[in-house]
Structure 1
Amino acid sequence: MSWRMVVLLAENREAYMIQCDNLVKIYKTRDSEVLALQGLDMTVRSGELLAVVGKSGSGKSTFLNMIGGLDKPSAGKLMVDGKNLFTMTQKELVEYKKRTVGFVWQNNARNLFPYLNALENIQVPMLFTGEKQRKENALELLELVGMSHRKLNKLAELSGGEQQRIAIAIALANAPKLLLADEPTGSVDKQTSDYILDIFRELNRSKKTTVLIVTHDNALARKVNRVISIQDGKISSELHARYDLEALKELAWEEGHEEYTILDRAGRLQLPSEMLEKMGVQDNKVILEFDQDRIIIKAVST
């Protein structure tokens, strides 16, 4: 292999922040297995601003948790910033969570210590990386999220929207390459929601941070560049928001489209929950019948 080819391959790896190939996640209980992700394929370029949408139980939060290093995949390939999350040691995983990813939760209490003021809260993550200019950096982040005037206020003295802006600043404390936001506007009013999304856009534009937002709210399509819909653990559609705003209105909630499911190596498949409800399936029991080239699934009569 020539040196030129080696350079090109390295550049290609650096172009992608997230690479998922046939990603599978199975949650096991004593009596059953739940297939949360079934063969998900996705690439996210470095510096992208995108949203992942889908109904509750579609697998989008499971996907986010695996990217954030909070949960391990069951099978497939998952690379983030050139790092293989399948082969990471515990020490490497801790370092990854400290320096590569930042998390913004819907429940901002997960990011905030109630007995510290806003300025002190933002400095907490910096203690784990040995950052020396903690106060100066925290003040800059307060300015970025428009909360400089509330730097000495504690959690109880801040509104829900103000707490969420402080939580964003905390997630950015160690300058992560990838910012993950799980329903970041789910508990705030529309005005605050618009402001938060503008923060993400400015962060993406000025610092080239890759921002991935998981949400139920398709209205934020006007604030991102690409929208991916996950349904029943796999990608069902993808739109470039700036060009497909009309189509986006129906994204992830449309009815009647043709849908595929994945049969795993053990012969198991996961049926969409909407279909099971319409069939009247109870106790996870169904009847299978073979008719020429078709397998027919019927609900058990009660």
Structure 2
Amino acid sequence: MIHCENLVKIYKVADLEVVALQGLDLHVEDGELMAIIGNSGSGKSTLLNMLGGLDRPSAGHLVVDGKNLLKFTERDIVRYKRETVGFVWQNNARNLIPYLTAQENVELPMLLSGKRRKQRALELLEAVGLGHRVRNKLSELSGGEQQRVAIAIALANRPRLLLADEPTGSVDSRMADQILDLFRDLNRNMGLTVVIVTHDPQLAKKVDRVVAIRDGKTSSEFIRSKSYAEELAELEAGVAQSPDAHIEYAVLDKAGRLQIPGDYLKEIGVDGTNKVRVTIEDGKIVLLPPEK
């Protein structure tokens, strides 16, 4: 579904240049549910904007659903945003119109498509658990319910890719769990590819793969040792859970470079230096602090 290779994004303001992405690589399979995590300024929101057709890379290779976004005309971008991708923002004001009902908000993206709007809107609101709130305006809905309406809007035109930017950032932990469960249901029942961007590492408990971005590059991946469905089945059967449900992998670029988490370097005494000793011992690559 998503193929990013050596993606670079440079923002220019007057004489100032800010490099947001520095040769990022990312591959997402069709029908996958995954999360992208990283600190503020790591480049995760920049990546999401490019996947959504809201921004363009400065260099590199970006293909989504077989479409090369670097070769898109403005007309192609409009069609892509209308037909291929759905977007859920953290700020509900970017998704919702306050003086419309939940149903009217969901119908709005379908106006230009000429499709049967009312039935589709009702089906989507039912799918996100709001079949009983279709005639309510936003002021009558909780923050979590508004976010569910936003998800229904993102699905209105049957996208193949759903992007969510901090979708649980403005709700409490209980509602965040419900929203993440909803993404999993949509992924499983509709075959949607779902990419969630967040700064919350707890999301790893709900998805099968987590990609960590650091300094504009893919630095590591966390992959489940067993599926979420298998873990739920074991919980129901009373099987004790392992504290480490995911295995962390460092990501190598084509030149063999990798980013090592700072905590690991501090653990071996490499702090405040840009050099380490690299040796091979018993078939393993070993990093050591520089000799004093």
Q: TM-score of the superposition, structure 2-length normalised?
A: 0.79
**Corresponding residue number in structure 2 for 1:255:** 262
**Corresponding residue number in structure 2 for 1:288:** none
Bigger drift between 233-242 and 56-65 goes to: 233-242
The answer on 1:25 being equivalent to 2:9 is: yes
Of 104, 113, 120, which residue of structure 2 is paired with 1:137? 120
Distance 1:255 1:208 in 2: 37
Of 49, 56, 79, which residue of structure 2 is paired with 1:95? 79
The one-letter code of the counterpart of 1:171 is: A
Given that 1:24 and 1:39 are in contact with CA atoms closer than 8 Å, whether structure 2 keeps it comes out as yes
The one-letter code of the counterpart of 2:159 is: P
Distance 1:41 1:253 in 2: 16
Q: Go from structure 1 to structure 2 and tell me whether the alpha carbon gap of 1:94 and 1:134 turns closer, same or farther (over 3 Å shift).
A: same
The answer on 1:152 being equivalent to 2:135 is: yes
**Corresponding residue number in structure 2 for 1:123:** 107
Residues 30-109 of structure 1 mapped to structure 2, 5 A cutoff: 30-109=14-93
SS in 1 for 2:19: strand
Superposed CA RMSD in Å reads: 2.1
SS in 1 for 2:145: helix
Given that 1:229 and 1:238 are in contact with CA atoms closer than 8 Å, whether structure 2 keeps it comes out as yes
The one-letter code of the counterpart of 1:224 is: V
Paired residues, what number? 242
Residues 280-295 of structure 1 mapped to structure 2, 5 A cutoff: none
SS in 1 for 2:144: helix
| 1:242, distance to aligned residue in structure 2 (A) | 4.5
**Corresponding residue number in structure 2 for 1:212:** 195
Q: Go from structure 1 to structure 2 and tell me whether the alpha carbon gap of 1:201 and 1:33 turns closer, same or farther (over 3 Å shift).
A: same
Given that 2:2 and 2:28 are in contact with CA atoms closer than 8 Å, whether structure 1 keeps it comes out as yes
Deviations for 1:246-300, whole angstroms, at most 9, x for unmatched residues? 667xxx9953346xxxxxxxxxxxxxxxx9xx89xxxxxxxxxxxxxxxxxxxxx
Given that 1:183 and 1:213 are in contact with CA atoms closer than 8 Å, whether structure 2 keeps it comes out as yes
The one-letter code of the counterpart of 2:92 is: N
SS in 2 for 1:51: strand
Given that 1:116 and 1:154 are in contact with CA atoms closer than 8 Å, whether structure 2 keeps it comes out as yes
The one-letter code of the counterpart of 2:8 is: V
Q: Go from structure 1 to structure 2 and tell me whether the alpha carbon gap of 1:159 and 1:233 turns closer, same or farther (over 3 Å shift).
A: same
| 1:202, distance to aligned residue in structure 2 (A) | 0.6
The one-letter code of the counterpart of 1:255 is: G
Distance 1:72 1:126 in 2: 26
The one-letter code of the counterpart of 1:234 is: K
Distance 2:213 2:111 in 1: 37
Q: Go from structure 1 to structure 2 and tell me whether the alpha carbon gap of 1:246 and 1:68 turns closer, same or farther (over 3 Å shift).
A: closer
Q: Go from structure 1 to structure 2 and tell me whether the alpha carbon gap of 1:41 and 1:76 turns closer, same or farther (over 3 Å shift).
A: same
Consecutive unaligned residues of structure 1, counting only runs of 5 or more, are: 1-16, 259-274, 280-302
Consecutive unaligned residues of structure 2, counting only runs of 5 or more, are: 227-243, 249-258, 266-270, 274-292
Q: Go from structure 1 to structure 2 and tell me whether the alpha carbon gap of 1:246 and 1:85 turns closer, same or farther (over 3 Å shift).
A: closer
Deviations for 1:2-44, whole angstroms, at most 9, x for unmatched residues? xxxxxxxxxxxxxxx0000100000001121111000001111
Indicate the percent of aligned positions where both proteins have the same amino acid.
63
| 1:128, distance to aligned residue in structure 2 (A) | 2.0
SS in 2 for 1:148: coil
Given that 1:108 and 1:164 are in contact with CA atoms closer than 8 Å, whether structure 2 keeps it comes out as yes
SS in 2 for 1:86: helix
Given that 1:51 and 1:227 are in contact with CA atoms closer than 8 Å, whether structure 2 keeps it comes out as yes
SS in 2 for 1:240: strand
